[in-house]
Amino acid sequence: MKVLLLFPPSWHPSQPYLSLPSLTAFLRENGVSNVLQRDLNIELLDILLTRKKCLEFYQKIINKLKDIDRDSKYYEENQEKRLILVNALEIIPEMADKVERAKNVLRTDDFYDLEKYVDSVNIINDSLKCMSALYYPSLMTAVNNDMRYSVYSSKEIFMALDDQEENIFLNLYKEHILPSILEYSPDLLGISITNTSQIIPGLTLAKLVKKQNETIYITIGGSVFTKLTENIKNIEGLFSIVDSFIVFEGEHALLELVTQIDREKDFKKVPNLIYRENNTTKVNEPFYVEDLNALPTPDFEDFPLGLYFAPSSVLPIQTSRGCYYRKCTFCNLHLDHRNFRLRHTDLLMKDIQTLSQKYNTSYFFFTDESVPVNKLREVSRCLIENKWDIKWMGGVRFENSLDKSLLENMSKSGCLKLVFGLESYNQRILNLMKKGTRTDIMKRILDDCLELDIAFHLYTIVGFPTETEVEAMETLEFVLQEKFLSSHGYSCLPSLFGMEKDSPITHNPKEYGLKSIMAPKAEDMGLGYYYEVEHGMTPEESNRMYDYVIGKLSEELCPFPYNYSMSDGLLYITRSKQKSYNPAVPV
């Protein structure tokens, strides 16, 4: 039995994602030895960002311009595209001479030269933008891809999958990825889709594989389709592309799916599976919840860690699954996991030790929704007692119990940065959000972090229902304090409020000053709603305020490296601390 697990574009190229290593480790531990996992996102970026590939695109753009110019009607209809292509043609030769050096800068100690770092990121993105001009209006960068097709409409997604003119992944897959998949000839192909930017690339690959070899069983997992569990039942066309979807957690589901494909093909025995049988969509419930303490250490074998755009590996790791708080009214992340569970600290220490030794890294990112305070206390104590040289960061809540003595121990254990969901610095809005915290606690914790030299990242939300411009400005003024801006490693990212599917606010809209909420008619794969407010900023006013906030932050806070990539920022903070101890270390 051969299993191939794939992580499609687009994702940040600084570090691997945790989903496939977790699944691979579980399958291998349970006797499925013939498992191969591939990060296609970093593989394709490595292929594209070469002089050879740039010049190939250069010639293709020349040919495309000739096609446009020789047909008068086509010429008239494609003036905008022609202009984009001409501009790309002017830039690509210069990019071709620089792009491989830029890529290698990010993989070596030159990464720590901020001027070289910024220049390299810009060269990489400019190169990808120029190459994707061939597929205009589609646009590809190192961290994202954007097409005119909505990823919330199955009709538009199906159109995108066959669009030779605009789907950049079609030809890339055919030339560079599809042959190796078909040669490997897996019995089961699993595709992890954890972000909406991966929907079209992931389904494009699935359709190509199915067309070439319909005997390969294809399943898709990940948080996106977990949130679309009800929608999947009503979109039959999806099952012409893939055989099934695994929703929620995938370890036992994937193992049982391997067993059934190999033997009985009795798919009702596979937990968390959505599939078609006798022209009916079946959903296997109740949904299975993993015992976090029965799972092995993630296995990053097969991942090309040397290809990621960082000089050292920053590995993701979890102390828990789910959210222990689960009350924020704007949030539906709790849907990704049925309930909250902790991993025993001794197992977590084993994970850290194993991964650190096996992959020669001391950098870890705890990817929990929020690491509980007691777990922070235990992890810090164990790291200090073991005297391990580990540098770490993770997401936490503004809990009153996150006191200065604990923060001090966290710092001693190697904690260099914390990620907070600030959301707002107005108490009325925080109460409406049911954040369960107070502005005075936020201020105290952040002041303690500043004193202890623990960097922090703040997420904020602009336009929560009933928020006024004055209240939004309170938050902006708070995050733009000089003491934050002048602290090392500070980053902040605002987001525009979006009413997400199945978030608590959708269950009682009147409580939040909403006149109505409406599902977009054409979005049968929609993950959110339109809404109207009784008072406070309208969605349009919130949008303008968001643009203003982004503009003000951009004036005061350079995006590189801390806002661009938190894992890159962790490496920069470490180097800065090393330099303060040893002036001979360059930064």
The predicted structure's pLDDT at residue 152? 96
Q: Which two tokens stand for residue 448?
A: 């303690």
The predicted structure's pLDDT at residue 74? 75
Name residue 155's amino acid: K
The predicted structure's pLDDT at residue 586? 39
Sign of CA dihedral 528, 531, 536, 539: positive
The predicted structure's pLDDT at residue 491? 98
**Which of 194, 280, 204, 201 has its CA nearest to residue 241?**
204
Domain extent for 560: 312-500+539-570
Within a domain: 465: yes
Same domain, 249 and 397: no
**Structurally, how many domains does the chain consist of?**
3
Within a domain: 72: yes
**pTM over the 0.85 mark:** yes
Among 90, 115, 146, which residue terminates a domain?
146
**Distance separating alpha carbons of residues 56 and 131, to the nearest angstrom:** 9
Within a domain: 124: yes
Q: Given phi > 0 = left and psi -120 to 50 = alpha, else beta, which region is 451?
A: alpha
Same domain, 258 and 338: no
Backbone angles phi, psi at 282, to 5 degrees: -110, 140
The predicted structure's pLDDT at residue 334? 60
Same domain, 15 and 67: no
Residue owning tokens 């202890």: 452
**Distance separating alpha carbons of residues 275 and 284, to the nearest angstrom:** 9
Within a domain: 288: no
Backbone angles phi, psi at 100, to 5 degrees: -70, -35
∠ Cα 226 202 229 (to 5°): 15
Cβ atoms of 355 and 381 closer than 8 Å = no
Among 97, 123, 146, which residue terminates a domain?
146
Within a domain: 534: no
Same domain, 163 and 191: yes
Distance set, CA 364 to CA 313, 315, 390 (Å): 8, 5, 8
Same domain, 432 and 448: yes
**Which of 403, 405, 404, 375 has its CA nearest to residue 392?**
375
Within a domain: 580: no
Task: Kindly give the residue spans of alpha helices, DSSP state H, lying in 51-78.
Answer: 51-70, 72-77
The predicted structure's pLDDT at residue 584? 44
Within a domain: 292: no
Q: What is the mean pLDDT of each run of 10 residues along the chain (587 residues)?
A: 97 97 98 97 98 98 93 82 96 98 98 98 98 97 97 97 97 98 98 97 98 98 94 93 97 98 95 96 96 98 96 98 93 76 98 98 97 98 97 98 98 98 98 97 98 98 97 98 97 96 89 90 91 94 98 95 97 89 46
Task: Quickly count: other Cβ atoms within 10 Å of residue 582's Cβ.
Answer: 8
Contacts of 21 (CB under 8 A, 6+ apart): 37, 298, 299, 300, 303
Same domain, 212 and 229: yes
Same domain, 348 and 410: yes
Contacts of 540 (CB under 8 A, 6+ apart): none
Same domain, 329 and 395: yes
**Which of 310, 407, 302 has its CA nearest to residue 45?**
310
Among 265, 283, 301, which residue terminates a domain?
283
Same domain, 256 and 323: no
Within a domain: 515: no
Q: What is the CATH number of the domain that holds 222?
A: 3.40.50.2300
Same domain, 410 and 338: yes
Same domain, 277 and 331: no
**Distance separating alpha carbons of residues 371 and 377, to the nearest angstrom:** 10
Question: Looking at residue 248, what DSSP letter applies?
Answer: S
Distance set, CA 516 to CA 411, 513, 532 (Å): 47, 9, 5
Same domain, 353 and 463: yes
